[in-house]
Structure 1
Amino acid sequence: MTLDVRSAGSLRAHLGAAAAQLAASTPYSVELVTQDVCWDPGSPRLFQDYRGDLSGRYLDAVDAAVADGHPVDDGKAETILREVLAAQQADGFFGPPALALQVDQGAAWGHGRLLAGLLSARRWAADAAAVDAATALLAEGIGARVPQWLRWVAAAGLQKFRLDPFSAMLPLALHAEASGAKPALVAARTLAEALPADADRAHMHGYLLGLRGQLEVARQTGADDLLRDVRERADVVARRYLLPHGGVTESLTLPWDANTEGCGIADWVMLNLRLYELLDDPRHLDRACVAAFNALLHTQRASGHFGCETLSGEDGVLMSDYAPEAWWCCTFHGLRALRHLVVHAVDADADAVRLHLPMALTATDGDGSPVLSVAGDYPYGDTVELTVGPGFRAAELHVRVPSTAGVGRLLVGGVPMPARAADGWIRLPAPSPGTTVVLELIQHEWFDVGGQPMVPPFANTTLPAPDLATERVAAFRGPLLLAASTADNPPDDVLRGRFLVHPREQRALVQEAGGVRAATSGHDSFAADLALVPLAGPDRSRHDRTVRTWFQGLLYARRTLHD
């Protein structure tokens, strides 16, 4: 059964704020959006050599907004689409002929993003046939240039953007599946098999787009070696480049990059959601949730635009002086990633309707009949309320209990039921239409210590506690990272409170109104209590404030008579 799923609750506000920007004339005038394909020598635009990048992303973002039920300026979107289609050349490419023949990552990147945008635009375009024709011609042109681009990659050395041509792999594979165009799949597989093993210093956004494409090629061709390669590469990213708030650095650079990028974080969310869907491995869903609810939402500003975070010289402290509003890329990709999160939250077939994430949403069937609505404010709230609609035709209702939570109480139609969560799932016979199922979660407090989830006590009665003073430590409640913001704490205390103090006989996090309070210390005699609240949330104006997102270590020791 195919469901039409729409966001609800606080996540809908995040999606809506980004979608509302698409109608704005600043920065998204028709002239600016189309200038990367309708080149005007008298009005140059920064990075216009990435022809098709901005216009393609805009077309895709319109689709994400429409699919989630947000208002868009239909006339503006159609005008942009018509101008893009009119700018296509006979060889399928866009931009001035001299530039269109240029062999570099800008040509590959921009045209790959435009191919993705055209694939999305077909779902809302008034003239779908014209979009289909342009899409096929562009895919053919990209496929013909793959050998040239691979030669460029081989000669590019360790250039940061050397892997960006592999970003065309994903739209090529999706076009092949939608149209049956075998040459597009051949081109995508050629790219998939050529993805270099050494990705050091490469652009994370381009690399993860390549992995997402490689995954689709593996799925369509049954190439187990490619599937295994994607999983192994994703694990390497998680092990080496994943920050405690779930996001990734802007490039695969060690020891660390100077910033994150909303686009790369968005790709990390979407890659892991797809891996979870295909492999049913909850690790990937957990990675996607932590990244989405913390890192990705933290890159969204009060305006609704997404952007980047600056990694300051003080480890664990994030600022917003590096492209906080990257309207030319991150806004579009952030919107698409949040839409992915909504779509992957629930699915259905004849056997069951499965709620993978207990977040607020509505799901209807192909006829528009309500199947399931989910209310509540997870992960900010603990109560989840599911209402079964007349379109619910499956034999059972399955609800996944988040790995960072337990079940406090389960009510079906107001009647208490045993809260058995076999293999992490609550499985119920299909409730009758109109029935309400209430799930009260107990969201756990836990710590990410050097990339490993842990809960106190960190040692048993016979072994000493491990040395945690040199490992990065982040505090969580459920999937939400608890951070110390300068909006709630003196800036000096946020900077100097480098270590989280956890007395062995006490709780590290003390509950108080609006959040929790934790003891911290510095390198010498400094000590201060800091208020910790979720890193990201409905008040997006807070995301501009300097914030300690993780600590440089955890001091875990028994209290003495002298303390």
Structure 2
Amino acid sequence: MKINSFKLFTLTISLNILGQAFAQENTGNIDSLSRHEFDYRMQMTLNRLTTSKMIPQYTEQFILADVNLDPANPRRFYNFSGDLSGRYIEVLSMAPKKSNRIQLPQLVSKLISFQQADGRFGSKDLIFTEDKISGEHMALLWGNGRLLVGLMQYYKEYHDPNALQAAKRLGDFFISSYEVCSTPAVSKRLEGMMAMGIICFTQYIEGLIMLTEFSGDAKYANIAAKTYPVLPPRGKQHTHGYLSTLRGVLMLYNYDHKPEHLDFVRKQYDDLVSSDDYTSFGSVREYFGHMDVDRDEGCSTADFLRLSFDLYKVTGNKTYLDKGEFSLLNALYFNQYYTGDFGHHVLNAEGSSPDFLHASWWCCTMHGLRAMYEVRNEYMTEHTAEGIRLNLYIETTYTDKKIGYTITKDKPSDGLQFFHIRLNSIDAKAGPVALRVPSWAEKMEVMINGKKISTPAKDDYLQLGNHSAGTVIRVGFKYRVSIHTGNAKSITPSQLSSSPVAGSLHYGPYLMGADDKTDPIFVAEPNDNTVYLKAITPVLASPAITGIRFPVRYSHSGFPSDLQSVLRPVGALTFNKHAYLMTRLQFASEPGTNKGANTQSMLNPFDPNAKKPSN
């Protein structure tokens, strides 16, 4: 890969440069994506799923290996029948049809041919009685649950009656399994089984609600309502299954509008984000309860951000919107590998440790892309009685029946990061357009067709009035700088003193970090350094977040010094092969008496000809 030869330590990398490195392997037409980081990331993963340049390749045989079982020559997790195949069908149903080298109708038709007589997919030898339920039964239920969701998403897009009939037979199988899987004895037996625990049973709520919506038969939703009380407290269990269950319960609320469903989800969510299981990246680890393997998971991250955004859609509470956006730009972006895969990364108390490439091609790669489609299609734009709200500043093109627009990241100016929004289409009856005023911005400046406007915000939205196709909106933000010290507390650099405070640095919507490919001396042992934030001038580089640089002065904990370094958004590590990363640092106001003779910077990030820093 050409990326190995990049001189990343120059810190001038841009998405356009990165695109040149990945053009042959991934996109092929990077020019159209060079100012669209969100689209670029989506294209990376879509190409991973639909081209033959990487292994394992997503061939028909490979995809269907979890329903067309071959135990003598198995694909990994074949016993989680329908897990990979269901996810693949789900996400490719949402992709542009011309992008898929495997034709979904033929793939789904072949998959349906492997359905067992009782409606299940996978092993027909597993007997579902209360005394026999084990982890293997849960594995089959898990995979079949993901497959039901995939069939429903496919039916939504393709309207294939055969897919709906297969889904109904599978839903009937889930109904038959309810009585034997919902007993206290089974729950007790499955305690501590993590990814093969009771969450494999409760997670199929999502597919059942979709099945009721598309079939019109309420019996599936009725079973879903009886199932979710089986979910145990967070404790020590698999986060993906737990969060998928909560998303299913929220879908149940959207179906029947019973407040107890919403109350349940909000209580569990609020409890989670106030606990140690909520990470500084804005998501969760693979397992609740700090297990021996302490790492993240792309699926769980995708679930968390979708749950956050869905709670905003239901409640209108902007705290959920903020958390979903932060999870997207930090946890999900960080989770993505340079191959386009999503997966796992080893976490530690300070940030993340480098390891081998934990690319989870069997689940996370598809689930991560699925979340990004959801972000673009469901959360960017909000239609209200007052008009249209544009909620997220991500670089992509959005279109629905009422409005179409394109957002690109524009060149920064006067300390502001600008976004260029062009209205491609808009219904005359759609109403006025409003821009979200994000909590991470100190200042917001807007120009419409080159003319600066001055309009007071209302309910955290800037009202722009009615506009027509062709209107160009240029919006700039001065990013807020804050230090998050834990327990939902934060301070500004002006509140720092000479006594160091431990925390994570947020620059606008981004979590900033120090990594050993940018500055190996900073993160080398001992690395309990003190970063000084009395006077800072972050550098905004267009077009990608990978170009944002946060120059800092610091004193190294190992020797008297007054040095320079650079913090960068953690999402930039996607293109840097995930070096050792520190996000929890020590911050103080100014060097004070700790100034030493070592004043040069190893990387001299401010300017190759810059003078040594001084007080």
Between the aligned partners of 1:287 and 1:384, the Cα distance in structure 2 is 21
| Counterpart residue number, 1:44 | 74
- 1:287 and 1:257 map into 2 onto residues whose CA distance is 25
Partner of 1:490: 520
Output one character per residue of 1:100-143: Cα deviation in whole Å (capped at 9) or x when no partner: 74733202211100001101112444x70111111111111112
Greater shift after overlay, 272-281 or 490-499?
490-499
Give the counterpart of 1:458 among 495, 507, 510: 495
Letter in 2 for 1:177: E
Matched, 1:135 2:135: no
Alignment of 1:117-136 (within 5 A): 117-125=150-158, 128-136=160-168
Offset at 1:364? 3.0
What do the CA deviations read for 1:531-561 (whole angstroms, capped 9, x no partner)?
A: 1111114x7331422221322x434578359
> Judging changes above 3 Å, is the alpha-carbon distance between structure 1 residues 374 and 41 closer, same or farther for their aligned structure 2 residues?
closer
Trace 1:349-360 onto structure 2 (pairs within 5 A).
Answer: 351-360=386-395
Deviation at 1:442, TM superposition (A): 1.3
**Equivalent residues of 2:305, 2:325 under 8 A apart:** yes
Give distance in 1, aligned partners of 2:525 and 2:224.
Answer: 47
**In structure 2, C-alpha distance between the alignment counterparts of 1:454 and 1:493, rounded to whole Å:** 24
* 328 and 255 in structure 1: CA distance in 2 versus 1, 3 angstrom threshold: closer
Superposition deviation, residue 500 in structure 1: 4.1
Whether the 8 Å CA contact 1:64–1:335 is kept in 2: the answer is no
Greater displacement, 161-170 / 276-285: 161-170
Counterpart of 2:324 (choices 288, 298, 304) is 288
Give the secondary-structure state (helix, strand or coil) at the position aligned to 1:54: helix
Deviations 1:461-500 (Å, cap 9, x if unpaired)?
A: xxxx69864x4x1112111111112221115635533344
- The Cα of 1:562 is off from its aligned counterpart by 7.8
SS in 2 for 1:270: helix
Structure 2 letter corresponding to 1:47: F
Stretch moving more, 493-502 or 480-489: 493-502
Deviation at 1:338, TM superposition (A): 1.2
Deviations 1:28-66 (A, max 9, x none): 121121111111233123322111111111111202323
Q: In the TM superposition, what is the alpha-carbon distance from 1:502 to its structure 2 partner?
A: 3.3
C-alpha change, 1:90 and 1:493, in structure 2 (3 Å) is closer
The structural deviation recorded for 1:223 is 2.3
Work out whether residues 500 and 518 of structure 1, in 8 Å CA contact, stay in contact via their aligned partners in 2. Answer: no
Q: Which residue of 2 aligns with 1:371?
A: 404
Range 326-335 or range 175-184, more displaced:
175-184
- Answering whether residue 84 of structure 2 is matched by residue 54 of structure 1, we say yes
| Residue 238 of structure 1: how far off its partner (Å) | 1.1
Question: What is the match of residue 176 of structure 2?
Answer: 144
CA contact (8 A) 2:522 2:529 kept: no
CA distance in structure 2 between the partners assigned to 1:360 and 1:483 by the alignment: 23
**Mapped pair 1:427 → 2:463:** yes
1:199 and 2:234 matched? yes
Specify whether residues 445 and 439 from structure 1 end up closer, same or farther in structure 2 by C-alpha distance, changes over 3 A only: same
- Written as runs of structure 1 = structure 2, the 5 A alignment for 1:462-541 is 469=501, 471=502, 473-490=503-520, 493-502=523-532, 506-507=534-535, 511=539, 515-520=549-554, 525=559, 528-537=563-572, 540-541=574-575
CA contact (8 A) 1:20 1:72 kept: no
Flag structure 1 segments of 5+ consecutive residues without an equivalent. 1-6, 460-464
CA distance 1:248–1:169, shift in 2 (3 Å): same
Q: Which amino acid aligns with 2:115?
A: Q
Shift of the 255–445 alpha-carbon distance from structure 1 to 2, 3 Å rule, reads farther
Kindly indicate whether residue 61 of structure 2 is the aligned counterpart of residue 31 of structure 1: yes
The offset of 1:381, in angstroms, is 7.7
Q: Structure 1 residues 215 and 154 mapped into 2: Cα distance closer, same or farther (>3 Å)? A: farther
Judged with a 3 Å threshold, the aligned counterparts in structure 2 of structure 1 residues 466 and 173 are, in CA distance, closer, same or farther, namely farther
Find 2:209's aligned residue among 173, 177, 196: 173
184 and 468 in structure 1: CA distance in 2 versus 1, 3 angstrom threshold: farther
The correspondence of residues 217-366 of structure 1 with structure 2, limited to 5 A, is: 217-240=252-275, 241-254=277-290, 258-312=294-348, 315-321=349-355, 324-343=358-377, 344-348=379-383, 351-366=386-401
Cα distance change of structure 1 residues 269 and 100 upon mapping to structure 2, 3 Å threshold: farther
TM-score with structure 1 length normalisation? 0.88
- Whether the 8 Å contact between 1:92 and 1:140 is mirrored in structure 2 is yes
Change (3 A) 1:445 1:492: closer
Return closer, same or farther for 1:172/1:154 CA change in 2, 3 Å cut-off. Answer: farther
Task: Tell me the distance in 2 between the aligned counterparts of 1:154 and 1:229.
Answer: 22
Shift in CA distance, 248/296, structure 1 to aligned 2, threshold 3 Å: same
Matching residue of 2:122: 95
Work out whether residues 404 and 479 of structure 1, in 8 Å CA contact, stay in contact via their aligned partners in 2: yes
CA contact (8 A) 1:351 1:396 kept: yes
Aligned residues of 1:212 and 1:271 also touching (Cα < 8 A): yes
The Cα shift of 1:349 comes to 5.3
Is residue 370–residue 392 contact of structure 1 (8 Å, CA) maintained in 2? yes
Contact 2:522 2:565 survives alignment (8 Å)? no
Q: Distance in 1 between matches of 2:262 and 2:540?
A: 46
SS in 1 for 2:280: coil
The sequence identity of aligned pairs, in percent, is 23
* Residue 72 of structure 1, aligned match among 88, 95, 100: 100
Q: After TM superposition, give the deviation of residue 424 of structure 1 in Å.
A: 1.4
Q: Deviations over 1:131-176 (max 9, x none)?
A: 1111111111112212222232243223323223211111111221
Q: Give the superposition deviation at 1:245.
A: 1.6
Aligned-pair CA distance for 1:417: 1.3
Distance apart, 1:339 and its partner CA: 1.3
What is the distance in 2 between the residues matched to 1:432 and 1:130? Answer: 43
2-side partners of 1:65 and 1:304: how far apart? 15
Relative to structure 2, which stretch is displaced further, 406-415 or 234-243?
Answer: 406-415
State the partner residue of 2:13: none
> Conserved in 1, the CA contact under 8 Å of 2:94 and 2:157?
no
Distance between the aligned counterparts of 1:228 and 1:245, measured in 2?
26
Q: 2:248 aligns with which of 213, 219, 229?
A: 213
CA separation of 1:116/1:100 partners in 2, compared to 1, >3 Å: closer, same or farther?
farther
More deviation in 146-155 or 436-445? 146-155
Inter-partner Cα distance in structure 1 for 2:148 and 2:345: 28
Q: Contact conserved, 1:301 with 1:325, CA < 8 A, in 2?
A: yes
1:493-545 Cα offsets, whole Å, 9 max, x none, are 35533344336xx23676598512224456664655431111114x7331422
What is the distance in 2 between the residues matched to 1:256 and 1:556?
Answer: 37
Query: CA separation of 1:356/1:47 partners in 2, compared to 1, >3 Å: closer, same or farther?
Result: same
Is 1:11 the equivalent of 2:45?
A: no
TM-superposed CA distance for 1:350, in Å, is 6.2
* Structural RMSD (CA): 2.9
Equivalent-residue separation in structure 1 for 2:259 and 2:157 (angstroms):
35
Which one-letter code corresponds to 1:72 in the other structure?
N
**Which residue in the other structure is 1:382 paired with?**
417
The TM-score, its normalising length taken from structure 2, stands at 0.81
Secondary structure of the residue aligned to 1:358 is coil
In the alignment, is residue 405 of structure 1 matched against residue 432 of structure 2?
A: no
Contact 2:493 2:589 (C-alpha < 8 Å) held by counterparts:
no
